[in-house]
């Protein structure tokens, strides 16, 4: 059922082959995925030049941190299971927030928030 609501949401932004205005980073990503599913030439362009493909399709600006590159991998083959191996974090030079330090001192697990800080998501770099 989640897939249907996702597709209905995308349909609101992409109707009659015309791009509707997108207002959130999530909508940008939904539109990009929807377009890549249905348009093989867009999918190829997205893989070869992802920033330009996303910006041209949506009008959103992708601003990556200095020295970073956006890589799009086609994981649409249902007969395969894909796993991304992230870069090893530099835990020695990592700074924890006050909240994380307090949680650790209190015996709580903060690994989820640390992973989120180390491996930002693409929607963090989309500017509308």
pTM, entire model: 0.61
pLDDT at 38: 93
Letter string b/e over residues 33-55, b meaning 16 or more CB atoms within 10 A of that residue's CB: ebbbeeeeebbebbeeebbebbe
Domain boundaries, the chain: 2-127
Which region among 6-10, 21-25, 38-42, 58-62 has the lowest average model confidence (pLDDT)? 6-10
> Both tokens of residue 43?
């999918």
> Mean pLDDT of all residues in the chain?
77
Q: pLDDT confidence of 21, banded at 50, 70, 90? A: low
Q: pLDDT confidence of 3, banded at 50, 70, 90? A: very low
How are beta strands 18-19 and 61-62 bridged, if at all?
Answer: unpaired
pLDDT at 2: 36
């Amino acid at each position: 059922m989640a897939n249907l609501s996702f597709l209905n949401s995308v349909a609101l932004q992409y109707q009659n082959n015309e791009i509707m205005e997108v207002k959130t980073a999530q909508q940008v990503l939904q539109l990009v995925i929807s377009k890549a599913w249905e348009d093989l030439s867009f999918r190829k362009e997205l893989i070869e030049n992802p920033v330009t493909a996303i910006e041209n399709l949506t009008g959103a600006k992708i601003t990556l941190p200095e020295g970073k590159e956006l890589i799009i991998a086609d994981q649409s083959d249902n007969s395969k299971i894909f796993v991304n191996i992230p870069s090893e974090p530099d835990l020695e030079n990592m700074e924890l927030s006050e909240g994380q330090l307090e949680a650790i001192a209190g015996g709580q697990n903060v690994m989820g928030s640390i992973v989120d800080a180390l491996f930002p998501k693409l929607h963090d770099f989309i500017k509308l």
